[in-house]
Amino acid sequence: MGIWELLIMAVALSMDAFAVSICKGLATTGSYIKTGLVCGIWFGAFQALMPFIGWLLGSTVSSYIESYSAYIAFALLAFLGVKMIWEALSEAREQKKALAEGINACGCANNEKNASLGVKVMLVFAIATSIDALAAGLSLAAMGANIFVAVTFIGITTFLFSFVGAAAGSKIGSRFSTKAQIAGGMILLALGIKILVENFI
């Protein structure tokens, strides 16, 4: 897996953290710089840690799955991509339903949990937004990627997107969070298809 493919994967995996950071930025009344740094550190660290754990797990069986590596990588990335798109569309449907019923469609602004930057709350959000990266780590092991380069790309990219997301949330609201998740899912799906096609060429 090349540098550009790793960068594309990093961007796609960071979309969940980006969407949550937008919500955090919208919910918090303090400095968006502080919110962005807190989100960036938490989400960036966990987005780097989870693929590393997945890579460790995948590396233990890599010799047995080497001949099927492209299929495994495709299956994992396609699953993650479809899952991300499905969750984003489900969230969009719920927001439309809430609007139709006259309910505030975005609970970010009046939700204490979303506004909190405490350790317990951030730990839950960090795990929730990075759990998909565990499966991505398995695909990295299957493809024989340099895990240290990969987790560096993923961690830094997630930090940057989280910071920008918090700033965007404080300035323009949550309009782009769903679109970001859909875009991330489509990128992962496309990357999986690319790996599979290259295996046949």
User: In whole angstroms, what is the distance from residue 77 CA to residue 165 CA?
Assistant: 24
pLDDT band for position 184 (cuts 50, 70, 90) = confident
Does residue 21 or residue 69 have the better pLDDT?
21
Lowest-confidence range among 87-96, 106-115, 140-149, 182-191?
106-115
pLDDT band for position 66 (cuts 50, 70, 90) = low
Amino acid at 22: I
Our CA dihedral for 149, 155, 156, 157, rounded to 10 degrees, sits at 100
Diameter over CA atoms, the chain: 56
pLDDT recorded at residue 3: 79
pLDDT recorded at residue 67: 63
Q: What percent of the chain has pLDDT over 90?
A: 14
- Cα distances from 17 to residues 41, 47, 63, 179, 194, in angstroms, run 11, 9, 33, 13, 24
Averaged over 159-184, what is the pLDDT?
Answer: 78
Q: At what angle do helices 119-143 and 147-172 cross, to 10 degrees?
A: 140
User: In whole angstroms, what is the distance from residue 81 CA to residue 182 CA?
Assistant: 8
- pTM for this predicted structure: 0.71
Cβ 37 vs Cβ 121: under 8 Å: no
pLDDT recorded at residue 85: 83
Cβ 84 vs Cβ 181: under 8 Å: yes
Averaged over 17-25, what is the pLDDT?
Answer: 83
> How does the average pLDDT of the chain come out, rounded?
78
The predicted-structure confidence for 27-59, as pLDDT tens digits, reads as follows: 776 778 888 999 999 999 999 999 999 888 887
Angle at Cα 131 formed by Cα 172 and Cα 96, nearest 5°?
40
**Own/partner long-range contacts of 173-176 (Cβ < 8 Å, ≥24 apart):** 173/22, 173/26, 173/106, 174/22, 174/23, 174/26, 174/106, 174/108, 176/22
